[in-house]
Every structure is written in C-alpha cells, then in structure tokens.
C-alpha cells in the first residue's frame, strides 16, 4: 500500500501516543516505591519515600538552584568544546587513512582510563575551580562525537562521490555537498550519547573535588546521611539530562527534516522500531 494513502495523526494525538506509556510506567514505579517505603518500616535514611524526596527538594531549593547553575555551566562549556574537538578529530581522521589508523587506538585508549582515577589528578593539577570539571566533561563527551562523526563521514556513498567527480566537483565541493551532510545523522547520534553523559561527568568531577555544584550537594548530603537529598540530586540530574536529550532530539529534527520524513517514520513504525 502506498504510505501516502494513510491518514496522518494530528501532532497532539501523536505526542500522547508516544508519551503516555512511559509516563504511566513512571507513575506506577513511583507508586510502588511510595508503598514499599511506607509499609516496610525502613527508616528514611535507608529508603526515603518519593514524597520525602519531593519535600527535601523543596526545602533545599535555595541550595539546589545555584548548584544546578554551576553544574549546567560546566556541562555546557565542556560539551561545547567537546563538539568542536570531536568534529575536528573526525575531520582529521577523514583526511587520510594513515591519520585514522594512528588516531583511532589513542581515542579508544583515552576511554579506557578510569574517570575516577583521572578526576582527582585533574583537581591536583588545576585546582577546585571550573577547569578540571570542564576537562572531565570533554574527556567523556568527545569520544562518541568523534567516533560517530568519523563513521558518518566515511559512510558517504562512493558512487555518489564518483558521480560528483564526473561532474567536475572539487574535493571541497564534495565535502560540502556530500560528505558533511551524509555525516549529520551520525553526528547527532553521537551528540545524543554525549549529552546524556555530560551531566554525569560534571557531577562526578564535582564529587571528587568541587567547591560547588550538584556533585558537591550530593556528597554533603551523603555525608550527612540525608538520603532524601541524595535522591533529590539524582532526580534533578536525571531531569536535566532528559531535558538536554530532548533538546538535541528537537534540534536534530529541525536540522535534518530529510531524515525524519513522514514516510520513513511510518516505515519505522511498521517495522516496530518505535
């Protein structure tokens, strides 16, 4: 059947169609958590109930808000630099096979180094300020960006490149018209992974040695056995990560309309990918 014959659902129906199942599931889990926390008789510092977590969030909001600000600044700067760095590395690897073969093992090796071991060293070298946190975020985020973008650049159809060459296209024109746009979906896949890691990266760096931020809030709450506040920080971190992810997803759909055509989505839906 021709996919264009199908009735396309209005946007709002579509949103609920997609958002309702996960929302219901989250509500269910929170409900179970609440029941277990209340009925089991465990003390609040072992398992606080969702209501207690919400209360802790509300009561410490004055401390949480600037902490969120600090973490967001570190995350944004780190992520921004990681994007530039990752794309540049991918571009360099694309220039020649020799460069790719030389760089790839180093990239992989950089990811095998434990962040928890590196972070304190960065604190010793660069102090308790912004720089070491930004470095940790870069270290975590540039890898998925570089690898995905490099794969995307390499994925350009060789027949397409040959066709443009036959039309007399220069290397630069082929880059601009074929290789770069072909790499965009992969770049965004990398970016989606990177943003979800970025907040966690910044938080870990603050935990290890920070003078502000959500990581420090978490560490102090843990030391004070204020488990409800630890949970509050976890929830806030998750919400920020999900928010960033959604933002990237929306950006991706705006920038790559050709990749998210109605036909393709219906095809995905039919194949059960959604």
Partner 1 sequence: MRKLSVELQGVSKTFHADGQSVRSLDDLTLRIEDGEFLTLIGPSGCGKSTLFNLVVGLLEPDEGDIYLEGEICRERIGRVSYMPQRDLLLPWRNILDNVIIPLELTGVPREEARGRAQSMLPLFGLEDFANSYPSALSGGMRQRAALQRTMLAEKKILLLDEPFGALDALTRRELQGWLLEVWRRFGQTVIFITHDVEEAIYLGDRVAVMSPRPGRIVKIVDVPLPRPRRQAMITEPIFSSLLAELLEALGVTI
**Which residues lie near partner 1 (CB under 8 A)?**
4, 157, 159-160, 162-169, 173, 177-178, 181-182, 184, 256-259, 261, 263-264
Integer angstrom CA distances of residue 9 from 2, 6, 18, 24: 16, 9, 12, 21
Distance from C-alpha of 164 to C-alpha of 173, rounded to nearest angstrom: 9
- Looking at the Cβ atoms of 183 and 193, the one nearer to partner 1 is 183
Tokens of 100: 């790719």
- Looking at the Cβ atoms of 103 and 256, the one nearer to partner 1 is 256
Closest distance to partner 1 from the beta carbon of 87 (Å): 18
Distance from C-alpha of 239 to C-alpha of 231, rounded to nearest angstrom: 12
- Looking at the Cβ atoms of 182 and 234, the one nearer to partner 1 is 182
Q: Which residues contact 253 (CB under 8 A, 6 or more apart)?
A: 260
51-54 contacts: CB < 8 A, separation 24 or more? 52/228, 53/228, 53/231, 53/232, 53/235
- Looking at the Cβ atoms of 14 and 165, the one nearer to partner 1 is 165
Distance from C-alpha of 27 to C-alpha of 127, rounded to nearest angstrom: 42
- Looking at the Cβ atoms of 115 and 180, the one nearer to partner 1 is 180
Closest distance to partner 1 from the beta carbon of 7 (Å): 17
Distance from C-alpha of 145 to C-alpha of 153, rounded to nearest angstrom: 12
Closest distance to partner 1 from the beta carbon of 4 (Å): 8
- Looking at the Cβ atoms of 12 and 166, the one nearer to partner 1 is 166
Closest distance to partner 1 from the beta carbon of 267 (Å): 9
Closest distance to partner 1 from the beta carbon of 272 (Å): 20
Question: What are phi and psi for residue 128, nearest 5 degrees?
Answer: -95, 5
Angle formed by the axes of helices 227-255 and 214-223, nearest 10°: 160
- Looking at the Cβ atoms of 92 and 256, the one nearer to partner 1 is 256
Q: To which H or E segment does residue 129 belong?
A: none
Closest distance to partner 1 from the beta carbon of 8 (Å): 13
Distance from C-alpha of 230 to C-alpha of 216, rounded to nearest angstrom: 10
Sign (positive/negative) of CA torsion 36, 221, 196, 101? negative
Tokens of 97: 């096979």
Closest distance to partner 1 from the beta carbon of 5 (Å): 13
């Amino acid at each position: 059947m021709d996919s264009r014959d199908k009735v396309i659902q209005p946007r709002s129906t579509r949103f609920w169609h997609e958002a309702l199942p996960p929302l219901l599931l989250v509500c269910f889990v929170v409900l179970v958590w609440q029941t277990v926390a209340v009925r089991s008789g465990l003390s609040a510092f072992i398992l606080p109930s969702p209501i207690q977590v919400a209360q802790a969030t509300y009561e410490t909001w004055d401390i949480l808000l600037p902490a969120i600000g600090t973490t967001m600044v570190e995350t944004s700067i780190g992520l921004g630099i990681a994007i530039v760095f990752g794309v540049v590395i991918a571009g360099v690897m694309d220039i020649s096979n020799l460069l790719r073969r030389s760089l790839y093992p180093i990239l992989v090796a950089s990811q095998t180094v434990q962040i928890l071991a590196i972070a304190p060293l960065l604190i010793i070298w660069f102090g308790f300020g912004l720089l070491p946190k930004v470095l940790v975020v870069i270290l975590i985020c540039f890898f998925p960006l570089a690898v995905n973008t490099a794969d995307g650049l390499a994925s350009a159809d060789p027949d397409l490149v040959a066709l443009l060459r036959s039309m007399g296209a220069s290397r630069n024109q082929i880059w601009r018209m074929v290789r770069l746009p072909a790499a965009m979906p992969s770049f965004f896949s990398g970016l989606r992974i990177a943003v979800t890691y970025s907040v966690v990266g910044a938080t870990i760096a603050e935990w290890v040695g920070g003078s502000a931020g959500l990581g420090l809030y978490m560490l102090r709450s843990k030391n004070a056995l204020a488990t409800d506040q630890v949970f509050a920080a976890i929830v806030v971190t998750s919400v920020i990560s999900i928010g960033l992810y959604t933002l990237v997803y929306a950006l991706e759909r705006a920038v790559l309309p050709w990749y998210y055509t109605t036909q393709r989505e219906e095809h995905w839906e039919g194949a059960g990918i959604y």
